[in-house]
Amino acid sequence: MKGLKSNGTPIRVMAVDDSPVTRKLIKKALQPEGFTVVGEAGNGKEAVELYPRLKPDIITMDVTMPIMDGLQAASVIKKLDANQKILMLSAMSDNDIIAEAATYGIKHFCSKPFKPQQMVQKILEALEK
Ligand SMILES: [Mg+2]
């Protein structure tokens, strides 16, 4: 079970994506490995509001979302906690997105579409570094 910490408790994930289908795919990828998806948000604003209550181990953050996009939300969350782990999810591997994310201290990306094991692997890598 890759989604368990060394003390046996689940790694807590918050899934942020405006696509309910993608959020479902994230859960389907993670839950069989023991991760717990503790919360979901459909846009950046919801994510920023929900974040302080959940304090997840890691956030999967879509880039393109209405109301507040993933880069904006990630920058707000990083200001609240510079150590918060965030895995950006993007259909486009755009150098501008990567460069902007880097200015917020975010260096972990997963491209969409993803295979379940890719998602698991990217999350574990992001938590390690
Ligand atoms: Mg989107």
Tens of pLDDT, residue by residue over 54-87, are: 999 999 999 999 999 999 999 999 999 999 999 9
Total structural domains within the chain: 1
Quick: pLDDT tens for 26-58.
999 999 999 999 999 999 999 999 999 999 999
* Residue 5 forms part of a structural domain: no
Tell me how far the alpha carbon of residue 25 lies from the centroid of ligand 1, in angstroms: 13
Q: Which two tokens stand for residue 1?
A: 């079970």
Residue 99, class by beta-carbon neighbours within 10 Å (0-12 exposed, 13-18 middle, 19+ buried)? exposed
* Residue 84 forms part of a structural domain: yes
pTM above 0.85, yes or no: yes
Q: The CATH number of the domain where 107 resides is what?
A: 3.40.50.2300
Segments forming the whole domain that contains residue 91: 12-128
* Residue 20 forms part of a structural domain: yes
Tell me how far the alpha carbon of residue 34 lies from the centroid of ligand 1, in angstroms: 25
Q: Measured between alpha carbons, how far is 92 from 112 in angstroms, rounded to an integer? A: 8
Tell me how far the alpha carbon of residue 74 lies from the centroid of ligand 1, in angstroms: 14
Nearest alpha carbon to residue 21 among 86, 123, 126, 112: 112
